[in-house]
A and B are shown apart, each in its own frame.
Chain A
Amino acid sequence: MSPRELAVRYGFLVLFAALVIYFALAAPGFVSPQSAVFVFQSVAITGVLALGVTATLVVGGFDLSIGSVATSSMMAAAYAMVVLDQGVFVAVAACLAIGIIVGLINGFLIVYMRVPDLLATLGMMFLLVGLQRIPTEGRSIAAGMTMPDGSVAPGKFSEAFLTLGRHRFDFFTPNLVPVSVVVLIVLAVLIWFFLEYTRFGRMMYAVGSNERAAELAGAPVKAYKIWAYVISGIFASIGGILLAARLGRGDIASGNNLLLDAVAAALIGFAVLGASKPNAFGTAIGALFVGVLLQGLTMMNAPYYTQDFVKGAVLVVALVFTFALSAKAKR
């Protein structure tokens, strides 16, 4: 392997390791279970979204609606519990239903209506951003809120639901690992196995790489594409559930950065191990990379408003790795 290939293949992981070592030396307290958990927790929701959007990237598409699917799910969960006085089961089911339905609509628009993926999901994004405000006439949802007709909302967030956001599993030290981190890890392993080792995943890569060849090999290309958007929708709605459980209210203003952070993580993932293509492992590393960087900088007292700049810079560097340096890019 030439030095160039080595650099492309392991460059990003080396950079990641160097970053961790640097923060370990420079920021006291960076190497601790609590700090590690904090990193994971900070990227849990964007990580879940990023894993979902990876599925659409694999089939050669893109899903811009994930952020708004997540916030719509959050509002739906809050609405179900606070306004309709339902339990945890209905709230979670409503969220997942939103993810599936939006995924199906996205897939339908792209596959059958031939709307380009970026535009179709952009449209859905706007639609959902607006839709989630309609039931409450633009208000956030919290227990005891006043309804538009003057009455007081009857329900509240169920304890079981809040547990999703507040419970911590014991791991070495008591009450360490939050549910959201466990969900992230489980979903990451699931989608990684699915994409790398199942027939379904392999065919999705084939569709993304050469749609015509996949079709001529007998693959139901349309179905694979629609499934990818459904997966993306489901993951985004799970992200929304975690967000609602963490906040304990349906906050109209939250989740602004979800889309960009998730997409950034998935695109950074292209550079991991020189894959030059969307992959679940890379996406997870990409999300963690951003999390570690922000956590380290915060512990070194970098101001919060530098965060987006740092994320953007990482993304640009990762894209250069992917498109300019890798051997595949030259073909």
Chain B
Amino acid sequence: MAADAVFRIAGLKKSFGPNQVLSGVGLELRSGEVAVLMGANGAGKSTLVKVMSGVHAPDGGAMMLGGRVFSPKSPAEAIRAGVVTVHQNINDGVVAALDVATNLTLDRLSGKGAAALFNPRRVQREARAVAERMGLDVDLKASIADLSLADRQMVAIARAMAHEPKVLILDEPTSSLSSAEANRLFSLIERLKEHGVAILYISHRMSDIRRLADRIVSLRDGAIAGTFEARPLDYEGAVNAMLGRTVQHGTVEARAAGETVFTADRLAIAEGVLPISLTLGAGELVAVTGLVGVGKTALAETLFGLRAPRAGTMTLDGKAYAPQSPRDAIEAGVFLVAKDRAENGIVGDFNVYENMSLPFLRRISAFGVSRRGAERALARGQIKDLGIVCRSEKDELATLSGGNQQKVMVARWLAQPARLMMLDEPFQGVDIAARRDIAAKLRAEAAGRATLIFVTELDEALETADRILVMSEHTIVGEHRNGAIDMDRLLAEVAGQKRRAA
């Protein structure tokens, strides 16, 4: 019954300050069809969702809902018009302190014309009606706080469905669900399709996408990079369109690895996943790539002592290596530039040199007293080395651009010699010039240590690494030497086709 578009977007534009996030997006959603929206971090997915759900007003372009202009001024207005969004954070969709029945009817309790007095019996009656329509099998009297994440998600969706929407937007609904829980969600989605709802499903999980998609739309840099609806669906093409490939092969001259620095043997980084074995040599720069949520950060955190492996062993320089904390890892010479610098890296109250000296303050202190002269000299050296643009080493970090902030984060860990240097999404929110600088610095100083970077964008891996490992479902599924890459095979591996490289 996929026929006319219920919802149509054309030329949608949105900027935040000088940042153009959406540069003319066109999209159609059809009744009874699941359209999957794919896009890397920063591609503009969340902004698109927020414009559609009335959180942000677009700067240009038009949205049509059922043939009429749709320009919601608030989320409430979008919902009334029939465009309902279930956000990624499940707890945004439910009120934990209340029971299921109240949650299911919450919007009627607070809407215009709602009775001032609360009638528990009516709430129960209405909630039961909603639950029956949705095939929701949850105790209506249970408190949300006692439910599993999956049940909460179901309640959030059922609550959204109580509005009888024409368009339902699901933003990464399975990101915190197990596969069994996800299956329940999928049957619910099937049921919604039968009801003729147009669904926009946002996800990184290839298994979800294979299961649900009637159509795949790839978003890249704020524009639609490809739409795929011919059967069978071209999953690799969609991944390729989303990740893009703008660099030429062979821009990096792949170097051979020196002596073995780090090995992992049958390392399982989560419950019930295939183990990982890998060897890293001195002087080589290895990139681990894969979609969001395939376990790249989990692998980095396991190597850095932040989480314990479920099984398997690691060695560093031939000796057993089992860090219990980041401190152990750092002392052994394993460093991690964590992703999301604002959250995990920057100390907001500290200036540039204080941020740089953070992990190695002990080594530049004398009898517990920090030697500011030495600290500042070290920072000045790093600023010059990495070309950090700032007035002096005493600048506040917040006055620096994103790229320069990231350089400070990298400089923090380059100050001391490492055995294994890891960088998790080091190019996130970094302009192209800073990205080149950081990559060049990493390659220039790679000698004598193993370097491991975790990146989602394929370009970043191709631009910097000697060797590329592909992750999918919390394990490594492929290995490529840069310069001689079979791109089709690599994309197939990213897209979740299991073909373990020999």
A residues sitting closer than 8 Å to B (CB atoms) are 197-200, 202-203, 205-206, 208-210, 212-220, 277, 331
Contact = CB atoms under 8 A, between A and B. Distances in A.
A202 B346 contact: no
B108 interface: no
B354 interface: yes
Contact of A206 (B325, B331, B338, B350): B350
Contacts of A208: 349
B414 to A, nearest CB: 14
Given A213-B338, A218-B325, A220-B327, 10 more contacts: A197-B370, A199-B362, A210-B346, A212-B344, A213-B345, A214-B358, A215-B326, A216-B336, A216-B338, A217-B326
B359 interface: yes
Interface SS of chain A:
helix
Contacts of A199: 361-362, 365, 368-370
A202 B361 contact: yes
Given A199-B365, A217-B326, A218-B359, A210 B370 contact: no
B177 interface: no
15 contacts: A197-B369, A198-B368, A199-B368, A199-B370, A202-B354, A202-B370, A205-B349, A209-B350, A216-B344, A217-B359, A217-B412, A218-B329, A218-B331, A219-B327, A220-B325
A203 B343 CA distance: 17
A195 to B, nearest CB: 11
A218 B348 contact: no
A208 B349 CA distance: 9
A274 B69 CA distance: 51
B327 A216 contact: no
B347 interface: yes
A43 B473 CA distance: 62
A218 B369 CA distance: 18
B398 interface: yes
A209 B348 contact: yes
Contact of B361 (A203, A209, A213, A220): A203
B405 to A, nearest CB: 12
B368 A217 contact: no
B21 interface: no
Contacts, number: 68
A218 B365 CA distance: 16
Contact of A216 (B326, B331, B350, B369): B326
Contacts of A215: 326
A214 B369 CA distance: 18
A138 to B, nearest CB: 40
A205 B345 CA distance: 14
Contacts of A214: 347, 358
Nearest to B326: A218
Given A202-B361, A220-B327, A331-B398, A213 B369 contact: no
B330 interface: yes
A202 B353 CA distance: 12
Nearest to A327: B396
Contacts of A217: 326, 330, 358-359, 412
Contact of B349 (A200, A203, A209, A219): A209
Nearest to A215: B326
A203 B362 CA distance: 10
B350 A218 contact: no
Contacts of B345: 210, 213, 216
B346 A213 contact: yes
Given A199-B368, A216-B326, A210 B361 contact: no
A1 to B, nearest CB: 13
Contacts of B354: 202
A144 to B, nearest CB: 48
Query: 5 closest Cβ contacts across the A-B interface?
Result: A209-B349, A217-B359, A218-B330, A218-B327, A199-B365
Contacts of B370: 197-199, 202
Contacts of B329: 218
Contacts of B338: 213, 216
Contacts of B325: 218, 220
A314 to B, nearest CB: 24
Q: Counting chain A CB atoms within 10 Å of each CB, which of B306, B331, B348 scores highest? A: B348
A277 B362 contact: no
A216 B423 CA distance: 12
A219 B365 CA distance: 15
Given A213-B344, A216-B338, A198 B369 contact: yes
Interface centre among B345, B354, B358, B362, by most chain A C-beta atoms within 10 angstroms, is B358
A212 B344 CA distance: 5
Contacts of A198: 365, 368-370
Interface centre among A199, A210, A216 (most CB of B within 10 A): A216
Given A206-B358, A217-B358, A220-B327, A277 B369 contact: no
A58 to B, nearest CB: 10
Contacts of B331: 218
Contacts of A205: 347, 349-350
A194 to B, nearest CB: 9
Nearest to B343: A212
B398 A209 contact: no
A205 B369 CA distance: 15
Contacts of B306: 216
A203 B346 CA distance: 13
Contacts of B327: 218-220
Contacts of B336: 216
A43 to B, nearest CB: 27
A1 B413 CA distance: 33
B400 to A, nearest CB: 12
Contacts of A197: 369-370
Contacts of A209: 347-350
A202 to B, nearest CB: 6
A71 to B, nearest CB: 33
A216 B424 CA distance: 12
A209 B355 CA distance: 11
Contacts of B347: 205-206, 209-210, 213-214
Contacts of A212: 343-344
A206 B346 CA distance: 9
Nearest to B358: A217
A323 B350 CA distance: 18
A99 B220 CA distance: 59
Nearest to A193: B369
